[in-house]
């Protein structure tokens, strides 16, 4: 074995992640690598505010809220229409 090969082997071992490239999840405070999109612990967007979470669960939830608001608006129009028809001309 040539001298120097051991040192080369050592340099291929990945260095442990420095603390600076990890930040805590805004949902569960789990530390995640900054490059990671979703939290390893809870699955939400690890580095976005909760309101802007891009995980499938939150996007689905927000879509349901939007549909709920649209249905409320239609229901209000329908109520107004029925009320107008009920009144004597
Ligand atoms: Zn989390
Ligand atoms: Zn989420």
**Å from CA of 31 to ligand 1 middle:** 8
**Å from CA of 9 to ligand 1 middle:** 36
* Res 87: pLDDT: 82
Q: How far apart are CA 54 and CA 48, in angstroms?
A: 8
* Res 73: pLDDT: 98
> Average pLDDT of each block of 10 consecutive residues along the chain (89 residues)?
57 67 93 94 95 95 96 98 88
* Res 13: pLDDT: 74
| Report field, pTM of the whole predicted structure over 0.85 | no
* Res 3: pLDDT: 55
**Å from CA of 13 to ligand 1 middle:** 28
CA-to-CA dists, residue 53 to 32, 35, 50, 64, 68, angstroms: 15, 15, 5, 15, 19
Ligand closest in space to the Cα of 47: 1
**Å from CA of 41 to ligand 1 middle:** 5
């Amino acid at each position: 074995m040539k001298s120097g090969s051991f040192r080369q082997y050592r340099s291929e071992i990945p260095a442990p992640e420095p603390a600076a490239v990890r930040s805590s999840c805004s949902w569960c405070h789990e530390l995640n690598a900054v490059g990671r999109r979703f939290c390893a612990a809870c699955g939400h967007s690890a580095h976005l505010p909760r309101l802007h979470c891009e995980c499938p669960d939150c996007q689905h939830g927000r879509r349901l809220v939007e549909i709920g608001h649209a249905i409320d608006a239609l229901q209000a129009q329908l109520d107004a229409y029925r009320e107008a028809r009920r009144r004597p001309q």
